[in-house]
Amino acid sequence: MKGYFSYLLVSMLQLGLMAQATDLLGGHCGKLGFGAVLAAGVAGYAYAISTVVFAAPILWALLVALVAASLLGIVLSHTIVALHPDAYLLASFAFQMAFIEMMNNVDWSGGPLGLRQIPSSVFGGLAVEATTSSFLFLIISATVGLLVLVSGARRESGVARAHHWIRDDILSALASPLDTRSIMARACLVHCILGGAAGVGVVIAQGYVAPRTFDLGLSLKVLTVVVLSGVGGSPFLMLLGSAILVLVTELASFAFTAPEAVGPLQQVLVSSVLIGFLVFRRRGIGGPVLESGPSSELFE
Amino acid sequence: MWLQLALDTTITWLLYSLAASGFHLASTCCRHFAFAAGMAFITAPLLLWSTLGWSGMSLSAAIALGSCICLGAGYCRLAAVLRVKGCRGTQLLIISLALLAASENLAIMLTGAASVSLWDKPSAVVLSTDRLVITRQLLTVLVSCAAGVLCLWLVWSRSLLGIALRALFESRWNLALRGYNVRLLETIGTAFGFGILGVAGILWASLLRVRPVMGFDIAVLGVAAVLAAPLIKPGFPGVVWSCMGIVVIRLALSLYFDGDWNLTAILLFLILIAAFTAPRAVLRQISAAQ
């Protein structure tokens, strides 16, 4: 039972961290997409390949994973972040699909079966089980992430106002002396590092990685948490949203269905929550009412 | 080997063209990338498979296609209502993706994750040589696909509906100002698009098998065709040429590499199209300026 609760806690932290990353770029900068899950996949695979294929020490593997996520952030910020929001969503989706397809077809990533027996039992010199070590890693990442996001998201913070200006009125932001390119690049970098940290947490907790670990199902789950919590809302709400979603999907596993139908039932439930909130309450639990204009005025 | 490969590639091209045309029509009429159109691609063959036991072939096909058409009309109305309620393009796109994911998972819950065959018995062989084997199923699908693509081309280029749809693609405001019922035309277009996807789904499943997750692959193909078509030739001809490009790249990849490269072929095609058409657009601008 103790193991089950720690599994739930780890799932909540993983989803919450990815949702925070998605909301930073989607809710605050107006570019909602699948970049966080892509970064999670890249960092997760980087960690797995470093430890399993190259037998690197865990701390080195963690470093490699975070560098890989940062590099992805730089690539994304120079290629697709400047696109129109709809085009950004599709382009990030295309990047994610390309990544999954590549991992499915190349030998060094283990192909469709992925990589197994990823070492995770030693964390910072302490011998602990996989769930605990994932929990430790995720809690550190979530705390650092929250500190960064909360300090950036404060109402009086210049960074938050600049993000909201870009989100609400991109034309006037481009015409202003604001360096929109570097602001978006930094946001994209933080977005990918947070997503990458969550990805490493997922891989440590599961002990294996496969292309299906970071597929469309996970992306939809993350988007559901963001929409449920409120797009552009507080970073703390993302943790609350992930807790609600994890509990609701876990309750579905107690439904009177065949064991093999539990996974699809959970996915149907997640999709229904996402559609329901987008149709009936787009603000989610505590998201702001998005308007055009006021953020730029506040900044000036 | 080459003859068999050419035949298989032709069938894949025709099937892709049919499916992508349906997706293109549905997406343009709904004014966003309608991933949900992939639902029709799985609903039609699954309904046909589940009703074949108690009804005849024609009745089952009618039920399957009728359901797809109703689904399309309903989706178009839902999208219109949400747009009026202030839903942005990104949100409609996410709803569309979520609907497709929900329907695929629902299909897995109802029929199981394994693929099912539409027909009990293996198909009879019509022609068998050292280089080529043609079964009755293969021939039926080839003829049906070719007829479907030809019909679509005739509707697009010759019929009143085709003219109205072309006008809708160019400017819905112009059409509305001329007194056309744009909302009705969009609903008809979406329903027609879902219907075409239903037909493509049944033909696809006849040749291969019914997989509950096959709607997603076809939706990605549709998105690529919708993105690339205007860069090649606007409308239906552009979609058909895009599918030709995707199939050729897929063939090249499958000849030289092991594994399944469907999505990579689509992405490579998009990159190539963007790389080759952007310089052309710049040259056009320069010549226009001169």
The ipTM estimated for the assembled molecules is: 0.85
The predicted-structure confidence for A74-114, as pLDDT tens digits, reads as follows 999 988 888 888 888 888 988 898 899 888 888 888 888 88
Determine, yes or no, domain membership for A254: no
B155 min Cα distance to partner chain A (Å): 30
pLDDT of residue B278: 64
> Confidence band (pLDDT; 50, 70, 90) for B197?
very high
pLDDT over 60 at A263, yes or no: yes
Task: Report which of B116, B121, B115 is spatially closest to residue B137, judged by C-alpha positions.
Answer: B121
Residues A91 and A162: their CA atoms lie apart, in Å, by 24
Determine, yes or no, domain membership for A168: yes
| Residue A51 near residue A61, CB atoms below 8 Å | yes
Interface of A with B in 253-272 (CB under 8 A): 257, 260-261, 264-265, 267-268, 271-272
Using CB atoms, pick whichever of B82, B109, B258 lies closest to residue A261.
Answer: B109
Using CB atoms, pick whichever of B102, B220, B258 lies closest to residue A268.
Answer: B102
Look over chain A and give the mean of its residue pLDDT values, rounded to a whole number.
84
Mean pLDDT, rounded, for B87-116:
88
B215 min Cα distance to partner chain A (Å): 13
Using CB atoms, pick whichever of A105, A265, A279 lies closest to residue B82.
Answer: A279
pLDDT over 90 at B174, yes or no: no
Which chain A residues are closer than 8 Å to B38 by Cβ? none
Domain that holds residue A205: 2-215
Matching residue, tokens 């925070």: A20
pLDDT over 70 at A297, yes or no: no
Mean pLDDT, rounded, for B124-129:
78
Determine, yes or no, domain membership for A259: no
Q: How many domains does chain A have?
A: 1
Which chain A residues are closer than 8 Å to B223 by Cβ? 90
Task: Report which of B267, B260, B258, B251 is spatially closest to residue B1, judged by C-alpha positions.
Answer: B251
Contact (CB<8Å) A101/B99: no
Determine, yes or no, domain membership for A233: no
Task: Report which of A274, A190, A269, A284 is spatially closest to residue A237, judged by C-alpha positions.
Answer: A284
The reply to whether A282 touches chain B by the CB within 8 Å rule is yes
Determine, yes or no, domain membership for A118: yes
Rounded to 10 degrees, the C-alpha dihedral B222/B223/B227/B232 comes to -20
pLDDT of residue A129: 64
Which chain A residues are closer than 8 Å to B272 by Cβ? none
B248 min Cα distance to partner chain A (Å): 18
Contact (CB<8Å) B102/A217: no
Determine, yes or no, domain membership for A133: yes
Worst-scoring range by mean pLDDT, A40-54, A123-137, B111-125, B205-219? A123-137
Show which residues on chain B lie within 8 Å of chain A, measured between beta carbons.
32-33, 82, 86-91, 93-95, 97-99, 101-102, 105-106, 108-109, 112-113, 216, 220, 223, 227, 257-264, 267, 270
Determine, yes or no, domain membership for A232: no
B127's enclosing H/E stretch is: strand B125-128
The reply to whether A102 touches chain B by the CB within 8 Å rule is yes
Contact (CB<8Å) A216/B264: no
DSSP state of B123: P
Determine, yes or no, domain membership for A208: yes
pLDDT over 50 at A292, yes or no: no
Residues B82 and B92: their CA atoms lie apart, in Å, by 8
DSSP state of B35: G
Contact (CB<8Å) B33/A90: yes
Contact (CB<8Å) A217/B101: yes
